[in-house]
Amino acid sequence: MIDEGRMREVARDLLASGEVDCVIGYARGSVWYRARPVAISDPDKVDMLIFNPFCMQNLATWLKFEMKENGGLQGKYGVVAKGCTARALIQMMQENGISTDDVYTIGVPCPGMVDPRKLGDDVLAMEDARVTLAGERVVVEGERRKVFSRDDVLHETCLLCRYPTPPLYDVLIGEGIEGRPAEDKNLAHLESLPAEERAKYWEDAFSRCIRCYACRNACPLCYCDGCALECLDPQWVYRSVEVSENTLYHLIRAYHLTGRCVECGSCEFSCPADVPLMELNRKMARDVERMFNYVPGMDPKAKPLLGAYDPRDPEGFIL
Amino acid sequence: MREKYEPRIVAFLCNWCSYAAADLAGVSRLKYPPNLRVIKVMCSGRVNPLHVLYALSHGADGVVVAGCHPGDCHYRHGNYIARRRIALLRNLLSFVGLEEDRVVLTWASAAEGEKFAEMAREVADRVGKLGPLRHPIRKVETYD
């Protein structure tokens, strides 16, 4: 993992020099297998900052919360950014959601985040533990020592991650790492199913949804002021928890992230009903890449996919 | 006895070309099936995929989006934008198990009354063969 001391030093310098007004980073959560986001504006408090394999949250979302709370960003923010966080920030810049001057990106190369649910109850029962990622292994050291394979305990979205290092940053802590995405077996399997079985699969998934809107709220890129999903006039989708409304809700959500989703996995991570939201997002992201050769969140000056066109776009489907 | 199944198809026609094509088809007294419910929009680029999803959810068995031919858009590139949108929407629908052929994108210029009528026949036939939409997106009360 990265050098936390160096990260704190950078944050302290930024705050002390007045370069940024606030640093958004991670702090230890209520238990050892959780991290929580923290906003620090006092240089003496930077020792709270950590970076361990439980820093799953995308901090660009907390920038969104700041924006929503204050009707815009007040001052300049330093953001501790993993690959996906930085890409979300870049995507926001591209859409003029935030200005390049609003953010100072403290880039951290991310080796992937551990899903606590995959560690098992006996491990989580430990009072305290330290988790390190070493190559293919994940080592948990507490009252007992336990070694896992990386493939078994990382979030699926992290195993499939292609950009662990921020594509753009103001400072990078440590050295960048190359992405080595695993094969996306789930997506390939789903695509190979007959249409009726896919419909059944999604019906099962969507009927579990309790419409808590956590996926929408946790998404760094769902920051529109007038969200179509809660608009009352016209009311595109009712709040009722019912399979057709849920399906409509999820398809609208997935479509609004088409060509924008940076695949951070926040939606799926925050979902209390285990709806495989990332499968929808990944499917659209792969299609976008295949059809339009476009990857979102890489270049703040790129044109938004669905706001642009190329006369040579595929048109084999047109009647 | 039940009547023969007639598909309900919502057609978004652009003001400048496709709507005029439909007009021409009518004025020329061309025969085509009456399954299309026409909604005039100013441009095919105005059709939000949300409109298509909403139509499918609320009782449409198929949706047509028709605009000017590429390069002929009254607003210069609205139809190119629609092309990207509908291409991706069809992929999304297919991925959740909804037959993507129910959503059709087509171009028809103001002079193509015959082409419009042919398209209406083709779409009515295609959606008619697929039958009523049976997919979780469909509201139960809209089932026949």
Q: Which residues pair with A154 in a beta bridge?
A: A114
Predicted TM-score (pTM) of this structure: 0.93
CA nearest to A179, candidates A161, A152, A157: A161
Show the tokens assigned to B65: 């989006």
Share of chain B above pLDDT 90, in %: 92
Count CB atoms within 10 A of the CB of residue A128: 10
Would you call A248 and B77 a contact, using CB atoms and an 8 Å cutoff?
no
* pLDDT beneath 70: ranges in chain A: none
Would you call B88 and A314 a contact, using CB atoms and an 8 Å cutoff?
no
Select the residue of B49, B89, B140 nearest A244 (Cβ to Cβ): B140
Transcribe chain B into DSSP letters. -PPPP---EEEEEETTTHHHHHHHHHHTT----TTEEEEEES-GGG--HHHHHHHHHTT-SEEEEEEPPTT--TTSSHHHHHHHHHHHHHHHHHHTT--GGGEEEEE--TT-HHHHHHHHHHHHHHHHHH-S--STTS-GGG--
Q: At what angle do helices A185-192 and A277-292 cross, to 10 degrees?
A: 80
Predicted pLDDT at A241: 93
A188 at the B interface (CB within 8 A)?
Answer: no
Q: Which of A 234-263 lie inside 8 A of B, CB atoms?
A: 236, 243-244, 246-248, 251-252, 254-255, 258-259
Would you call A202 and B107 a contact, using CB atoms and an 8 Å cutoff?
no
CA nearest to B81, candidates A284, A255, A309: A309
Would you call B84 and A258 a contact, using CB atoms and an 8 Å cutoff?
no
Position B1 pLDDT exceeds 60 = no
Render pLDDT for A66-76 as a digit per residue (tens, 0 to 9): 999 988 888 99
Render pLDDT for A30-64 as a digit per residue (tens, 0 to 9): 999 999 999 999 999 999 999 999 999 999 999 99
Residue A314 distance to chain B (closest CA, Å):
8
Position B142 pLDDT exceeds 90 = no
| Rounded Cα–Cα distance for residues A250 and B122 (Å) | 31
Predicted pLDDT at B140: 79
Render pLDDT for A100-126 as a digit per residue (tens, 0 to 9): 999 999 999 999 999 999 999 999 999
Residue B80 distance to chain A (closest CA, Å):
6
Higher pLDDT, B118 or B143: B118
Position B143 pLDDT exceeds 80 = no
Q: Which residues pair with B106 in a beta bridge?
A: B66
Answer whether residue B139 is part of any domain.
Answer: no
CATH label of the domain that carries residue B105: 3.40.50
Select the residue of A198, A306, A307 nearest B95 (Cβ to Cβ): A198
Answer whether residue B138 is part of any domain.
Answer: no
Show the tokens assigned to B59: 């009782």
Residue A147 distance to chain B (closest CA, Å):
38
Would you call A198 and B138 a contact, using CB atoms and an 8 Å cutoff?
no
| Rounded Cα–Cα distance for residues A145 and A123 (Å) | 9
Answer whether residue B39 is part of any domain.
Answer: yes
Chain A partners of B45 at a C-beta cutoff of 8 Å? none
What average pLDDT does chain B have? Answer: 93
Q: Which of A 295-314 lie inside 8 A of B, CB atoms?
A: 305-307, 309-311, 313-314
Predicted pLDDT at B144: 63
| Rounded Cα–Cα distance for residues A223 and A217 (Å) | 8
Number of folded domains in chain B? 1
Answer whether residue B75 is part of any domain.
Answer: yes
Would you call A255 and B80 a contact, using CB atoms and an 8 Å cutoff?
no
Show the tokens assigned to A99: 């200005």
Instruction: Quote the distance between the C-alpha of residue A182 and its chain's center.
Output: 18
Residue B30 distance to chain A (closest CA, Å):
19
Answer whether residue B92 is part of any domain.
Answer: yes
For residue B39, what are the domain limits?
A: 9-130
Would you call B84 and A305 a contact, using CB atoms and an 8 Å cutoff?
yes
Render pLDDT for B42-101 as a digit per residue (tens, 0 to 9): 999 999 999 999 999 999 999 999 999 999 999 999 999 999 999 999 999 999 999 999
Answer whether residue B82 is part of any domain.
Answer: yes
| Rounded Cα–Cα distance for residues B10 and A232 (Å) | 23
| Rounded Cα–Cα distance for residues A227 and A256 (Å) | 10
